[in-house]
Amino acid sequence: MGYVNDDKMTQFIPPWQFQGATGTYTIAAGAVAGTWAFHRAAAASTGVVTIPILPPGNSGAARNKGSLLKSIEVDYELLLAGATSVTAALAKVTRGANGAVAVVSAVTITQDQAAAVAAATQGQHKLTVTVTTPEWHSNAAYYFLNLTCVCGATVTLDFLGAIVNYTFKA
């Protein structure tokens, strides 16, 4: 047995694992031939797309093992028009003991494209969300990336997938 310390690990999250609120969402062929998309039909509303973050974790007592969550890249398209804003938020859900309620907290992040400017223009985007203080993924908690998209009546959204970037230690 050997020791693994790889700081360039990635995990693809396909669009059919995304969840949407407010609006009509479907899995459809993407605007680019050969791609699939989590598609939201045009609607003047604020849509929230939730992406489960799925790198491997560690359930052992050893600290600093498993996956150190560093960043998430989301590929999406704003079609027919630009949005008012696209804002990312990372939620950490700490599991409660049997009979206890889970606790949701915000993880401090930055996004590389300004929410009301570059992230919201019509066209194809790769939004990178960086965790300010990377966190080790364990069986005590799980994460969701929420993208809030404020859209006018003609804007359609296509989410093509996400890439989770992490360090893996075992």
Overall pTM > 0.85: yes
Contact 11, 55 (CB under 8 A): yes
Q: What is the mean pLDDT for each group of 10 consecutive residues in the chain (170 residues)? A: 79 96 89 91 92 85 79 95 95 86 94 90 95 89 94 93 93
Q: What's the domain range around 154?
A: 5-169
| Cα 95 to Cα 101: distance, rounded to the nearest angstrom | 7
Residue count (the chain): 170
| Cα 91 to Cα 47: distance, rounded to the nearest angstrom | 17
Contact 52, 141 (CB under 8 A): no
Q: Is 52 exposed, middle or buried (0-12, 13-18, 19+ CB in 10 A)?
A: middle
For the chain, the domain total comes to 1
Residue 69: the pLDDT is: 94
CATH, residue 24: 2.60.120.260
Instruction: Quickly tell me which residue has 């908690």 as its tokens.
Output: 141
Going by C-beta distance under 8 Å and a sequence separation of 6 or more, which residues neighbour residue 116? 84, 85
Going by C-beta distance under 8 Å and a sequence separation of 6 or more, which residues neighbour residue 156? 39, 40, 41, 42, 78, 79, 80
Residue 76: the pLDDT is: 95
How large is the C-alpha radius of gyration of the chain? 17
| Cα 142 to Cα 45: distance, rounded to the nearest angstrom | 28
